[in-house]
Amino acid sequence: MVIVVMSVMYVLITGGDRGIGRATAIRFGRKGYNICFTYYSRVKEAEELAGLLESMGVKAFFTRMDVGSPESVSEGLKFFSSRIPYLNVLVNNAGIISVNRFDDITIDEWNSIIRVNLTGVYLVTKAFLPLLRKAGRASIVNVASLAGQTGNAVASVAYCASKAGVIGFTRRLAVELGPKGIRVNAVAPSFVETDMVREFINTEEKRERVKSLHSLHDIARPEDIANAIYFLANEDSRFITGEVLSVNGGRLTC
């Protein structure tokens, strides 16, 4: 296998406009990567992030994409492939959460969670794999969750199932793509200080309860997850594939 070393590096981050995705874009931008990212509804935040990245001296390309829609992913591929020659790193970050109990989950809610969190990872990876192959050596990092490893006292069965699926997807795809020079890993965060999570820990009492679930008695920042993603994506982890890196502050139970 011939490994081509590229002087210009490109990363694509789905759901890059906020939270973990935004922190990840900034982390890669500071390392000189040109950033491609998608957003779903927050165009203002996407524009602000692109401006910040370009102020760092890197290129930023972004477009709206519904990761669970084959048509939307196809349009996203057309947009990015007309602007970049290859892709070094793909970060499948876009996702949604659900907290309903099993008795209250409708089939529509179930399908929505699986469509975005699991089918979205499949669709985006499938579409952008040719660009990753063009890099000669590349990396995929999927954002899973502790909920997919152990279950979760807050997240719904649908969310836990979707993230468990991401872990299975990661491990199997690593077997298939390893001989092609493409590594596939995942990060599994616990609670992270994002807009999505703040909706569910919106009082000081709830925050303290969540902190107490972690041996570090804290809640992760998006930057903590971004650092783990960057590690798994770059050559410092060149012999790691098919792994799930837990970033959970010592939170090993529900």
Amino acid in the structure at residue 128: F
What does the alpha-carbon distance between residue 160 and residue 151 come to, in Å, rounded to a whole number?
6
Burial of 248 (0-12, 13-18, 19+ CB in 10 A): buried
What does the alpha-carbon distance between residue 254 and residue 239 come to, in Å, rounded to a whole number?
31
Residue 39 is a catalytic residue: no
What does the alpha-carbon distance between residue 118 and residue 125 come to, in Å, rounded to a whole number?
11
Which whole-number Å values give the CA distances from 236 to 39, 49, 186, in the listed order?
29, 27, 15
Q: Which residues, in sequence order, are CB contacts of 29 under 8 Å at separation 6+?
A: 35, 52, 53, 56, 58, 60
Q: Which of 33, 40, 159, 230 is catalytic?
A: 159
What does the alpha-carbon distance between residue 21 and residue 14 come to, in Å, rounded to a whole number?
7
User: Rounded to a whole number, what is the distance in angstroms from the first to the last CA of the chain?
Assistant: 44
Instruction: Find the helix or strand (DSSP H, E) in which 12 lies.
Output: strand 10-13
What does the alpha-carbon distance between residue 87 and residue 206 come to, in Å, rounded to a whole number?
41
Catalytic residues: 159
